[in-house]
Amino acid sequence: MQTEIITIEGMGCDACSASIERALNALEGVTSASVELASKKAAVTFDPGAIGLTAIKEAIIEEGYEVVGE
């Protein structure tokens, strides 16, 4: 398992962070995802043999948010 911290811009409320968290946790290969609104960060633990970091970041972008440091 691998854990990455991803910085996200564009979240304005708890519903935003919850939406991203749901999308990430639904991905095949992601074992846990936690999004914190205050720090603008997501901690994502995943199996790199099943999903790549690029696909995880794309899921955040598809939800309508910006990945910082992309």
Let me know how many helices (H) and strands (E) the chain has, helices first: 2, 4
* Number of domains forming the structure of the chain: 1
Read off the pLDDT of residues 10-66 as tens digits, 9 standing for 90 and up.
998 989 999 999 999 999 999 999 999 999 999 999 999 999 999 999 999 999 999
Q: Does 70 score more than 70 pLDDT?
A: no
Q: What is the pLDDT of residue 34?
A: 95
Residue 5 lies in a domain: no
Q: 29: Cβ–Cβ under 8 A, 6 or more apart, which residues?
A: 46, 47, 49, 50, 51
User: For residue 27, what are the domain limits?
Assistant: 11-42+53-63
- Whether 58 is covered by a domain: the verdict is yes
Is residue 68 in some structural domain? Answer: no
pTM of model > 0.75: yes
The reply to whether 16 falls in a domain is yes
